[in-house]
Amino acid sequence: MQSYFPKDFLWGGAIAANQAEGAWNVDGKGPSVADVAQYRPNLDPKDYVSQWHVSPEQIKAAEATDDTTYYPKRHGIDFYHHYKEDLALFAKMGMRCLRVSIAWTRLFPTGTEKEPNPKGVQFYHDLFAEMRRLNIEPLVTLSHYEMPLYLVEHYDGWVSRDVVDMFVRFTKVCFKEYSQYVHYWLTFNEIDSVFRHPFTTVGVVEEKYANKHEAEQAIYQALHHQFIASSLATKALREVDPHAQIGCMMTRTLAYPLTANPEDAVMAQEYNRNNYFYADVQVNGAYPQFMKNYFRDNDIHIKMNQGDEEILAQHTVDFVSFSYYMTMVKSVNEEHMEKVGGNLTTSVKNPYLETSEWGWQVDPIGLRIALIDIYDRYHKPVFIVESGIGAKDELVDGQVHDDYRIKYFADHFKQVNLAIKAGVDVMGYTTWGCIDIISASTSQMSKRYGFIYVDLDDLGRGTYKRYPKDSYAWYKKVIETNGASLFDN
């Protein structure tokens, strides 16, 4: 096999401000939803639902303390103060692209301010200028589970239409300040995760709603506001920089039918359609008919302002990006079958796949299928902006022998190569957590994804020193050879 990766393929890495930067209350930054995420050692790390849930009592308790030990996203890996050193390591690795997010609360501490916080604005100037200096293309997410906590408490999060204006104000500042460095943007990270963890995504505290139906109604309303905000941000970007490209970002969780039973196939199809719904709106500029029918049949009423449909239709995205970690299996007889956990929900265990320590099933071929499906559905360039394996690495004498990570990426990259060979326009691949960061779901440090080890444990103890792992040299070679080294014997 040969390498089919295009010359300008964006080999890179990805992190998010709230999991990496730390400095949660430094230089005027306000608290965000991430700053109340607690590390709970007694919870089962595979219990995805409990890990993500944040109750009103937990919010109160978090607000009452400045503790960072049990709120690890508050210290992250201190990227805020280490970014030069980290970027230098990425540059040495040959990384062509780095996906980062801009913490909304660094620029607008409560979200309601009319003018941005100058120190916050300056930080991202410095960061992006340094990336440019090192020839690292920035790919910037405007919202990665980082909404101001103030907006949750005073506006019911994204359920309030007012939040659209505040978010758009924030994005306009980002475009005005940073378009000189940034040419690739994403609006909402994993916009489809609103039902999996509504607090972190749209600031919905489920306990505030009388029943499940009301909570569902609120979440769809909040989602609608995110769709509008995404379109208005797209419009604003085009006014500032008509050459920039902006993408939507979905969690691609491909589902297979367990058997050839057509009933299983229907379940998988329904699941996949639902997963696509979010990108359908952002690419096609309208709610798909199947969702309108779902709303009709389930008594969901979305309040739309006059002109909303036009806004969605007029400002659609340029490319489709997605995260990829695992695939799902659907069956009509799920009840008595063995299940596995994962990035979203439990699934029937796929007997053909290996499972990570956190129960996520690893499926390189599924990535090829996902790429081909997405491209055939939307006919837009696609970008894998997250993928990786969380593992417990061991640092011995300054070294980490992470052959499992090398195997994971070799297998996935080869499938991307096949998708490109099959005609898919793939822009790039930014591997998740290219330097170890705090886990989004479990707030653990010990769930590591990086090519660079950060000396820090789950309780924030350590030197913060960085150590390239074996996978660092391996990925460097892959980039250097534009994928050809994947096929060396």
Q: Which residues bind ligand BG6 (CB under 6 A)?
A: 16, 19, 189-190, 251, 323, 343, 386, 390, 432, 439-442, 447
**Residue closer to ligand BG6, measured from CB, 70 or 209:** 70
Amino acid making up residue 28: G
Query: Whole-number minimum distance, CB 473 to ligand BG6, in Å?
Result: 24
Q: How far apart are CA 430 and CA 418, in angstroms?
A: 18
Query: Whole-number minimum distance, CB 239 to ligand BG6, in Å?
Result: 28
Query: Whole-number minimum distance, CB 69 to ligand BG6, in Å?
Result: 19
**Residue closer to ligand BG6, measured from CB, 257 or 450:** 450
**Residue closer to ligand BG6, measured from CB, 156 or 190:** 190
Q: What DSSP line would sit under 299-312, residue for residue?
A: T------TTHHHHH
**Residue closer to ligand BG6, measured from CB, 361 or 439:** 439
From the list 319, 294, 121, the residue with the least C-alpha distance to 223 is 294
Choose the catalytic residue: 21, 137, 146, 386.
386
Q: How far apart are CA 193 and CA 252, in angstroms?
A: 11
Residue 289 — left, alpha, or beta (φ > 0 → left; ψ -120 to 50 → alpha)?
Answer: alpha
Which residue has the CB atom at the shortest distance from ligand BG6? 441
**Residue 63: active-site member:** no
Query: Whole-number minimum distance, CB 482 to ligand BG6, in Å?
Result: 26
> Hey, which residues does 155 pair with through a beta bridge?
none
Contact call for residues 486 and 3 (beta carbons, < 8 A)? yes
**Residue closer to ligand BG6, measured from CB, 169 or 196:** 196
Query: Whole-number minimum distance, CB 432 to ligand BG6, in Å?
Result: 6
Q: Are strands 245-251 and 137-143 parallel, antiparallel or unpaired?
A: unpaired
Choose the catalytic residue: 190, 206, 216, 354.
190
Using alpha carbons, list the distances in angstroms from residue 31 to 22, 107, 110, 172.
Answer: 11, 11, 8, 21
Amino acid making up residue 448: R
Query: Whole-number minimum distance, CB 386 to ligand BG6, in Å?
Result: 6
**Residue 338: active-site member:** no
Q: How far apart are CA 163 and CA 148, in angstroms?
A: 10
**Residue closer to ligand BG6, measured from CB, 116 or 342:** 342
**Token pair for 474:** 């391996």
Residues in CB range of 100: below 8 A, 6 or more apart = 14, 15, 16, 17, 20, 127, 138, 139, 140, 141
Active site residues: 190, 386
